Amino acid sequence: MNDVKQQKWWGWGTEGKEFSFADKPKFAPFVLERLGVDVTKAGGGAPSFASLDVPPSQLTDALRDKLVAAVGEKHIKTDAEARVVHGFGRGVRDLVRIRRNDLGRLPDVVVYPGSEEDVVAIVDACVEAEAVLIPYGGGSNIVGALEALPGETRQVVSINLGRMNRVLEIDEDAGLARIQAGVLGPDMEVQLNARGWTLGHFPDSFMWSTVGGWIATRSSGMQSDKYGDIADITRGLRMVMAGQTLELRPLPSYSSGPSVREMVIGSEGRLGIITEAWMNVHRLPEVREIQAYFFPDYYSGLRAMEALAASDAAPSVTRVMDANETAFSMANGKKSSRVGHLMSKAIQKVMEGKGWDLTQICLAFIGYEGTPVHVRYEKGLVGKFISAHGGMGVGKGPGALYDQKKFDVPYIRDFLLDRGIPADVSETPMPWSKMEEMHRAVTAAAQKAFDDCGVQGFIMCHQSHSYHSGACQYFTFAINDASEHNMETYDAVKQAIQQTFIEHGGGVSHHHGVGEEHSPWMERDISPAGVFIQRKLFEGVDPKGLFNPGKIIHDGVPGVSSNSVQPD
């Protein structure tokens, strides 16, 4: 067997690594108060893998022989666990369905190409056999982009790019690296850092997501204010299609008609299999620090970020948490940590002296990178805006801690799910003028959905990814519902949130993608004519619907998913 890393079949990340609140004394009381669940009781845990009814693979000998010829016997898997892992992303719906033995249409085979030539051979074989191809990176997708359509009668082939994991070359003059699509975030940064470079792309999924996956889903990382979204970072790329290979050379900008690069970015496997890309890379900065600030309330924080975006300042990270997320953040702090100490008596006293309502205070992080002189200059610029909007700095301790722990957050979800609390995230971009209205509307809509469903629920939010004209708001919600029908509750809440996004000037997603989960809202997001254009693109390039059919838009492919919820 090959040594491509694989997530645990029943949850996020590495086997053996789990969330613990042992050293976080405020965590359990917080969850009890906000969700009514005592998490100190042992959780249900996942079922045994043996209890799952994994349907047999439908792979034909003919296609198997071709795939073996393409990559060799040891780079093909048809075992039940590999098929289950590759049949799902890591959205809460995925995890609940796996635990409930609701396995849908699993791939019939997982194949691991080691080179672009291997990918060409795989694609040729699948196209000839009229098999469905689904590319697989780290498996962290949360919008249902990795699953075959229910009722898919054709063979389904999952292509795991994990062996294609190298930084192939660095153009040091241009600050460009040619990187294979299957490399996981940490493995890529190790290779870049060793030569003094960084991609600067750190999504929450970083540990279990890949360059190809980031491109295919229009990813964005926490330092996008400086490094850009993946659409800004990706300059050239190669993609294997039916019978041909797209090659876009690395150009900083261009006027070559409708942007083919921007059609591949976000295509979620529907146009072909991305094999490598030329990405902007940057010299590791001399100084990198994240400063923490408190605001008396979320909307003051938002207004400060809006003012920063219009100013000469150019921080690398901007992030303000609403009161709920601030409270959660403090409850999730270790006893000995500086986050835990943020609300020291001294700081509390200062806040009370300012007349702040301590239940409304909001924590913000702002990142700085560059030479020491530049970081000092930027902090000075930013500081004035913070003060002007009533904020106060509390140093770099909390930010440093956040920075170390940010990739551990997904483990909390499995912990909560074990204890009957499904939790998920939903994020949307919007103009600055819609930020407050959106926050009010989404939190109200979620609360109404909790109430309508008769469950206790919790929703929190942060702003992140500032642009000139707007930003992203990222909502995390959890419901106290261990019932068999909890996915209906989840759907009701998720639908309320997505519908509110669209009605208040947001889009279906800022950086998670569309997949199956968000496709019902696409006509509301980019208008029916926009969906028409995407459909014509997909149908024209892939008339037989072999490349990850049914994602982004449903039409024009055999079968329509029943997984996702329907909008009003």
∠ CA 469-472-476, nearest 5°, is 165
Q: Residue 482 CB, nearest distance to its own copies (Å)?
A: 31
Contact 55, 150 (CB under 8 A): no
User: Any alpha helices (H) in 102-151, and if so which ranges?
Assistant: 116-129
* C-alpha–C-alpha distance, residues 517 and 491, integer Å: 10
Q: Which stretch binds its own copies (CB under 8 A): 23-31, 34-42, 178-186, 539-547?
A: 539-547
Q: Binders of its own copies among 436-475, rule CB under 8 A? A: 465, 467-472
Pick the binder of its own copies from 405, 537, 558, 559 (CB under 8 A).
537
What does each C-alpha distance from 354 to 296, 322, 349, 393, 514 come to in angstroms?
9, 19, 9, 14, 44
Paired tokens of 253: 């900008």
* Region 510-529 residues binding its own copies, contact defined as CB under 8 A: 510-514, 522, 525-529
Amino acid at 520: P
| Burial of 161 per CB tally in 10 Å (0-12, 13-18, 19+) | buried
Q: Retrieve residue 393's tokens.
A: 């700095």
Query: What is the rounded distance in angstroms from the CA atom of residue 410 to the CA atom of residue 140?
Result: 10
In angstroms, the CA 256 to CA 248 distance is: 11
3-state secondary structure of 466: coil
Min. distance of Cβ 233 from its own copies in angstroms?
9
Q: What is the DSSP letter of 219?
A: -
* Distance, CA of 538 to CA of 532 (rounded, Å): 10
Nearer to its own copies, 217 or 326 (CB): 217
Secondary structure in 3-state letters for 265-284: CCCCCCCCEEEEEEEECEEC
Q: Which of 16, 257, 355, 454 binds its own copies (CB under 8 A)?
A: 257
Nearer to its own copies, 486 or 564 (CB): 564
Strand blocks (E) in 74-201? 76-77, 109-111, 132-136, 156-160, 167-171, 176-180, 197-198
For residues 263 and 245, what is the distance between their CA atoms, to the nearest angstrom? 15
Residues from 363 through 422 that contact its own copies (CB under 8 A): 370-371, 374, 377, 381
Give me the helix-helix angle, 92-99 and 409-418, nearest 10°.
40
Smallest distance, its own copies to C-beta of residue 373, A: 8
Per CB under 8 A, which of residues 301..360 are in contact with its own copies?
A: 306, 309-310, 312, 314
Among 156, 246, 339, 342, binds its own copies (CB under 8 A): 246
Report the length, in residues, of the chain: 568
Task: Report the site for its own copies in 222-241 (rule: CB under 8 A).
Answer: 229, 231, 235, 239, 241
* Closest to 455 measured CA to CA, from 447, 467, 466, 443: 447
Between 314 and 409, whose beta carbon lies closer to its own copies? 314
Distance in Å, CB of 278 to its own copies, minimum: 8
Distance, CA of 264 to CA of 313 (rounded, Å): 32
| Binders of its own copies in range 37-66 (CB under 8 A) | none
Shortest gap between Cβ of 341 and its own copies (angstroms)?
A: 33
Total number of residues binding its own copies (CB under 8 A)?
Answer: 96
Nearest to its own copies of 74, 283 (CB atom): 283
- Contact pattern from residue 170 through residue 199 relative to its own copies, giving x for each residue in contact according to CB under 8 A and a dash for the rest: -xxxxxx-----------------------
User: Closest separation between CB of residue 266 and its own copies, Å?
Assistant: 5
Pick out residues in 413-432 that bind its own copies (CB under 8 A).
Answer: 429-432
Sole window of 115-123, 180-188, 481-489, 536-544 interacting with its own copies (rule: CB under 8 A): 536-544
Q: Which of residues 482-511 bind its own copies (CB under 8 A)?
A: 505-511
Q: Please state the closest distance from residue 514 (CB atom) to its own copies, in A.
A: 5
Among 244, 344, 359, 387, binds its own copies (CB under 8 A): 244
- Alpha-carbon Rg for the chain in angstroms: 23
Buried b (16+ CB within 10 A) or exposed e, 287-311: ebbbbbbbbbbbbbbbbbbbbbbee
Kindly state the smallest distance separating residue 107's Cβ from its own copies, in Å: 22
263 closest CA partner among 221, 229, 220, 215:
215
101 near its own copies, judged by CB under 8 A: no
Look at the block and give the residue holding tokens 């980019």: 526
User: CA 299: distance to chain centroid?
Assistant: 25
Tokens of 373: 């002189």
| Shortest Cβ 21–its own copies spacing (Å) | 32
Find the shortest distance in angstroms from Cβ 513 to its own copies. Answer: 5
Catalytic residue from among 227, 298, 299, 474? 474
| Pick from 542, 539, 535: nearest CA to 126 | 542
**Stretch of residues binding its own copies (CB under 8 A), selected from 67-75, 109-117, 134-142, 534-542:** 534-542
CA 463 to chain centre: 15
Contact map string, positions 138 to 177, toward its own copies, x by CB under 8 A: ---------------------------------xxxxxx-
Helices 435-453 and 298-309: angle between axes, nearest 10 degrees: 140
Active site residue 474: yes
Looking at the Cβ atoms of 63 and 472, the one nearer to its own copies is: 472
- Using the rule CB under 8 A, give the single segment among 74-82, 153-161, 205-213, 215-223 that binds its own copies: 215-223
In this complex, which beta carbon is closest to its own copies, that of residue 488 or of residue 503?
503
**Judged by CB, which is closer to its own copies: 91, or 250?**
250
Q: Which is nearer to its own copies, 425 or 471 (CB)?
A: 471
Closer of 110 and 170 to its own copies (Cβ): 170
Among 54, 260, 284, 351, indicate the residue that binds its own copies (CB under 8 A). Answer: 260
Annotated catalytic sites, by residue?
Answer: 474
